[in-house]
Structures are given as structure tokens and as C-alpha cells.
């Protein structure tokens, strides 16, 4: 290497950062052992801030623009390095560029289930996920609190620091809201706004402005979802006796069309006849006494009642009426019976509406 090349490699004339990434927040200028030349050009682009550090201490901060580095625009660094009368020789300093653009679609999610007490199901576990957007509001504070002296700090670095904060505050929010699990989907917007308000000041403490916060999904465990599907299916089926008869009729057809079953000693046909006899007997019991025009007895309707988040019952209408009279069941008490898609307030059930009107007012 010639003398000219050696001298050229010792000094830095231009300091800049051309950001070709989408997720870099802090970039340390690659100075290595080179020294910054007196009068070097500093180029800070839009959505960037340049920070000079000396021995781990933040010195001068530069907003977007072009600068010629001299003691006049490096007052703090000049003081830290003891340049009482200015400097004419090259100097050393760590230079960090901080991106101040808005970073979007940052993902968050629960690493473990959140335990809640649901008014309908009792203790349940849920998971949640979503996204948020943020930008660096105070670059100096963000470097002090999070980035430190990392040479390259990305959005994933932010998530590793802030994910715990998000999950703690979000879990606390859900517990305070006390929203039934089946009603959470209708409250995503409200919960998102409440979470953003709850997290905003805490993010500012790290020098970060939380611009938006969204909940994408809140889910129950698979086992709970399976039970909900079965419960929904029961509500759709309605009359279980008629549904059983329909299934039996289909089974007879399937058995008759199964050659292998019939070949095996007529087993398939035997099962078909057995089911047919069972079905015929069921029809005979229903039609018994039809000549006398006697209608079948009407099954008395009964309801399950939610008490302190626990299922009780079922109770027939006489017991329901006595519990309304004693105040054990109020208009807001949740009840359910076969055929209902979900639990509902007692006052909204037609069979109970008149019962509440029969309760006398309190004695003055």
C-alpha cells in the first residue's frame, strides 16, 4: 500500500447512512479504526437522526440536513474531548443513525394462555394476537433505554423488549374488562383503543411513540371450541327424538346396501331388521291409542340457571316461578334450555316475561 492510500484510509470525509432495509431502527456508522476528518461532511436524510457518542456518552444530535463538522456544531463533543480552543486534527467518535420513520405491522401475541374467570364458562384460558405500529419519538432516550451501543438494532429488537410490557398490560386489561368470552369478538375495536391508551405512556418512557394497536384474534382452547360446536349442533337439531329416528332410518338403508355385511351370515340384514323393529316399536308407542284420539303428553319445559358463574338445574316452570318470587332469579339472571343457541337473560325469555310482572313491588 502506498503512502497516499494509507493516508486516505485514515480519515473519513463523508458520514451518511443509506437505508436499504425495512426494519433497521439504529445503524452504527462503520468507522472501525478510522478517524473523522476535521470539516467532514455529515448527511442526515429525512426520517433520520444522527447521534455522536464519546466513550458511551451521548454528545451531539443532528436533525435532517447537511453539516460540516467543526467545533462550532459539535459543542458537547468538543467539551467531552477537551477541545478548549477548537481542533484542527482528525477525531474519533461513535456515530449512530436512528430511523424516525413509522414502522407498521409489528406483530405481538401471547406466549402462554391468559387465565380468566368467565361469567358463563367459569375459569378459561385464552390466547390473543395482533399488530401495532410505532416510531422513534426521542432517539437519545431510545438508545439509552433499549438499543444501547448495538451496531444494528432492528424492529425485532424492539419486540423483544416491549413484548413483555404488551402482554402484561393486555392481560390486566382483559381481567378488568370482565367481558364474556362469547362477546369478545364484538369488542375488538374497544379493547384495541383501551390497550393503546394503557400502553402509550409506557412506550414513551422508552422514547417510542405507539401510533396504533390492533387485536386480530382472541381464541379459546381447542377442547372448549369442540364443546361449543357440539352445543351449537344440539341447538340446530332441536328435537333429539325425531333426529334419532331419522338417523335410524338412514342406518337401515346403509345396512341393506352393504353386501359384505349381508354375506357375513346375514349380519347386516339382521341389524337392519333389529333397527327396523326398534323404529317400528317407537312408532307403535307413539301411535298407541290413536283410535281414541288421545294426544301424546306434552313434555314440561325446564331451564338451567346460572348462579355465580355455575350451572344449576334444570328447574321446571313452577320452581322458576317460586325462585323469581323469592328474588333468587332476577331479570338479568342467565338461563338456557334445549333449542337455545346461547344463554340469555331471564327477562328476555317469553315463558318468563309474565312471571316477572306477577312479582309484587316491595312494601314501602
| Per-residue confidence (pLDDT) for residue 253, from 0 to 100 | 65
Same domain, 108 and 69: no
Distance CA 167, CA 161 (A): 11
Distance CA 84, CA 213 (A): 49
Domain extent at residue 348: 302-357
Same domain, 120 and 216: yes
Residue 295 resides in a domain: no
CATH of the domain at 306: 3.30.1490
**pTM check: above 0.75:** no
Residue 261 has pLDDT above 60, yes or no: no
| Per-residue confidence (pLDDT) for residue 39, from 0 to 100 | 85
Per-residue cell: 88: 484542527
Which of 158, 187, 220 terminates a domain? The answer is 220
Same domain, 81 and 112: no
Same domain, 58 and 110: no
Residue 249 CA: distances (Å) to CA of 99, 193, 262: 71, 54, 18
Average pLDDT, the chain: 79
Same domain, 142 and 107: yes
Same domain, 33 and 84: yes
Same domain, 90 and 115: no
**Range ranked top by mean pLDDT from 6-10, 228-232, 278-282, 291-295:** 228-232
Total number of domains in the chain: 3
Residue 72 has pLDDT above 70, yes or no: yes
Amino acid at each position: 500500500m502506498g503512502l497516499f492510500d494509507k493516508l486516505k484510509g485514515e480519515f473519513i470525509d463523508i458520514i451518511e447512512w443509506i437505508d436499504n432495509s425495512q426494519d433497521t431502527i439504529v445503524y452504527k456508522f462503520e468507522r472501525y479504526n478510522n478517524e473523522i476528518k476535521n470539516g467532514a461532511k455529515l448527511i442526515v436524510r429525512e426520517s433520520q437522526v444522527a447521534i455522536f457518542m464519546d466513550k458511551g456518552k451521548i454528545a451531539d444530535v443532528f436533525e435532517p440536513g447537511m453539516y460540516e463538522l467543526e467545533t462550532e456544531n459539535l459543542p458537547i463533543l468538543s467539551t467531552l474531548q477537551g477541545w478548549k480552543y477548537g481542533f484542527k486534527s482528525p477525531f474519533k467518535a461513535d456515530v449512530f443513525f436512528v430511523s424516525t420513520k413509522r414502522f407498521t405491522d409489528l406483530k405481538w401475541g401471547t406466549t402462554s394462555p391468559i387465565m380468566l374467570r368467565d361469567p358463563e364458562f367459569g375459569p378459561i384460558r385464552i390466547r390473543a394476537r395482533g399488530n401495532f405500529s410505532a416510531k422513534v419519538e426521542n432517539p437519545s432516550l431510545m438508545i439509552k433505554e433499549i438499543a444501547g451501543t448495538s451496531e444494528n438494532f432492528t424492529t425485532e429488537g424492539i419486540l423483544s423488549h416491549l413484548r413483555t410490557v404488551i402482554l402484561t398490560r393486555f392481560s390486566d386489561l382483559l381481567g378488568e374488562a370482565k367481558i364474556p368470552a362469547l362477546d369478545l369478538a364484538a369488542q375488538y375495536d374497544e379493547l384495541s383503543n383501551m390497550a393503546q391508551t394503557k400502553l402509550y405512556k409506557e412506550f414513551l418512557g422508552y422514547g417510542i411513540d405507539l401510533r396504533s394497536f390492533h387485536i386480530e384474534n382472541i381464541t379459546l382452547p381447542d377442547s372448549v371450541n369442540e364443546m361449543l360446536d357440539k352445543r351449537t349442533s344440539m341447538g340446530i337439531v332441536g328435537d333429539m327424538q325425531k333426529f334419532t329416528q331419522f338417523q335410524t332410518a338412514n342406518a337401515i338403508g346403509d345396512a341393506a346396501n352393504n353386501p359384505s355385511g349381508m354375506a357375513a351370515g346375514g349380519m347386516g340384514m339382521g341389524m337392519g331388521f333389529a333397527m327396523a323393529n326398534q323404529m317400528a316399536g317407537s312408532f307403535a308407542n307413539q301411535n298407541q291409542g290413536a283410535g281414541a284420539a288421545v294426544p301424546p303428553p306434552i313434555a314440561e319445559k325446564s331451564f338451567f340457571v346460572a348462579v355465580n358463574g355455575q350451572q344449576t338445574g334444570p328447574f321446571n316452570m313452577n320452581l322458576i316461578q317460586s325462585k323469581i318470587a323469592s328474588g333468587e332469579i332476577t331479570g338479568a339472571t342467565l338461563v338456557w334450555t334445549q333449542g337455545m343457541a346461547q344463554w340469555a337473560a331471564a327477562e328476555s325469555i317469553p315463558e318468563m316475561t309474565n312471571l316477572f310482572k306477577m312479582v309484587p313491588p316491595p312494601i314501602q
